[in-house]
Amino acid sequence: MQATQTIEKPLTQVKSQKDLHKEVDASAAWSVSQIEALFALPFNELMFKAQETHRANFPDGDVELATLLSIKTGGCPEDCSYCPQAARYDTDVKANKLMDLDEVLEAARAAKAAGSNRFCMGAAWREPKDRDIEKVTAMIKGVKALGLETCATLGMLEANQALALQEAGLDFYNHNLDTSEDFYSSVISTRGYQDRLDTISNVRAAGMSVCCGGIVGMGESREQRAAFLARLANLSPYPESVPINHLVPVAGTPLEDQKPLDPLEFVRTIAVARITMPSARVRLSAGRQELGRAVQAMCFQAGANSIFYGEQLLTTGNPEAEQDRQLLAELGLKTKQSCKAEVLV
């Protein structure tokens, strides 16, 4: 097929994940047309390429379990069309103040006991104030002391704020691009695309790993999904973690009546993310509950190897931990625990 001739890229031999990530980043950039060609492949061929890439880069085949806690919910001044935490939308989400340190550490202990190895803290801010950073750094230090990887998503960051988080021991900072640049203004008007890129640059400059992905099914075209993945894959380096969210329409938000994305198109998106960002952890995030077990199984086959784990994902439901463990066990998948993969029993 002519399309496949334009998209072939050699697989890097398995080395350490850090070295592999650097080597792959040195390869030629992915064009939007190349990524569209991946999307257009026959389903089985695309899945084969994704699985081939996945096995070459993650020979243990383990799945990372991450827990996300909303440490400050609601009252956000932004107008993200998908988000029930925006103050301007009439949703069931009520604004709450920043959680106390002891509450956060209690949740982190519970997450670790349930099997999570990464603990993510999210706050509904446009950007944190310096006094907020001081409180969050105490949380980071406390969670790190429990032996968990730490991640935070707090909105836009200035360079000095990113450095303060890094010095506190933060491993990952999440800041999603959400979608392609040309579709972005259809979803958000209160924060520019460049603002997001600037925050990612500040995080990199501070020496932290990047968690960056987006949401599919907001009404974007396949070409725009391809452009979104191209932007992620061409970041230098591309993110270590790539969360792919399936839109959960929430009553009261502008996207409450958005037609769901076809499930196979979502699986294709996961497969393309795996091929274009070989050494990244591709995470199934919001919307897993709506996808169902069979589609999630196909996503793991397509190269997803990280999930948000637990009952709640910020303000939307998430499959309960026991259901997740049962599904992974039935699929014969392993979990990443303290840098060691163990078979679920």
The more confident residue out of 300 and 338 is 300
Is 308 inside any structural domain? yes
Does residue 22 carry a pLDDT above 80? no
Question: Three-state DSSP class for 11?
Answer: coil
CA count, 13 A, side-chain hemisphere, 252 = 11
Of 84, 89, 85, 11, nearest to 52 by C-alpha is 11
Find the CATH number of the domain harbouring 256.
Answer: 3.20.20.70
Partners of 285 in the β-ladder = none
Calculate mean pLDDT across residues 313-328: 67
Question: Three-state DSSP class for 21?
Answer: helix
Is-cis flag, bond preceding 237, omega within 30?
yes
Average pLDDT, rounded, for the chain? 87
Residue 336: pLDDT band (50, 70, 90) is confident
What confidence score (pLDDT) does residue 338 get?
45
| Residue % of the chain over a pLDDT of 70 | 86
Distance CA 239, CA 236 (A): 8
Residues counted in the chain: 345
Is 20 inside any structural domain? no
Residue 18: pLDDT band (50, 70, 90) is very low
Tell me the pLDDT tens digit for each residue of 191-243: 999 999 999 999 999 999 999 999 999 999 999 999 999 999 999 999 999 99
Give the Cα-Cα-Cα angle 294, 52, 329 (nearest 5 degrees). 40
Is 270 inside any structural domain? yes
Radius of gyration of the chain (CA): 19
Calculate mean pLDDT across residues 11-21: 42
**How close are the terminal C-alpha atoms of the chain, in Å?**
43
Is 258 exposed, middle or buried, given 0-12, 13-18 or 19+ CB atoms closer than 10 A?
A: middle
The more confident residue out of 341 and 114 is 114
By the 8 A CB rule, do 36 and 222 touch?
Answer: yes
What confidence score (pLDDT) does residue 1 get?
39
Domain encompassing residue 202:
29-329
The total domain count for the chain is 1
Is 336 inside any structural domain? no
Write b or e for each residue in 134-158: b if 16 or more Cβ atoms lie within 10 A of its Cβ, otherwise e. Answer: ebbbebbebbbeeebbbbbbbbbbe
What confidence score (pLDDT) does residue 310 get?
63
Partners of 118 in the β-ladder = 66, 149
Is 183 inside any structural domain? yes
Residue 325: pLDDT band (50, 70, 90) is confident
Is 52 inside any structural domain? yes
Is 108 inside any structural domain? yes
What confidence score (pLDDT) does residue 224 get?
98
Give the DSSP letter string of 120-156. Answer: EEEE--SS--HHHHHHHHHHHHHHHHTT-EEEEE-S-
Distance CA 180, CA 219 (A): 12
Tell me the pLDDT tens digit for each residue of 52-86: 999 999 999 999 999 999 999 988 989 999 999 88
Q: At what angle do helices 32-39 and 43-57 cross, to 10 degrees?
A: 110
The more confident residue out of 323 and 167 is 167
Q: Determine which of 6-15, 130-139, 217-226, 301-310 has the lowest per-residue pLDDT on average.
A: 6-15
* Active-site residue set: 76, 80, 83, 120, 151, 211, 283
Is 335 inside any structural domain? no
What confidence score (pLDDT) does residue 163 get?
97
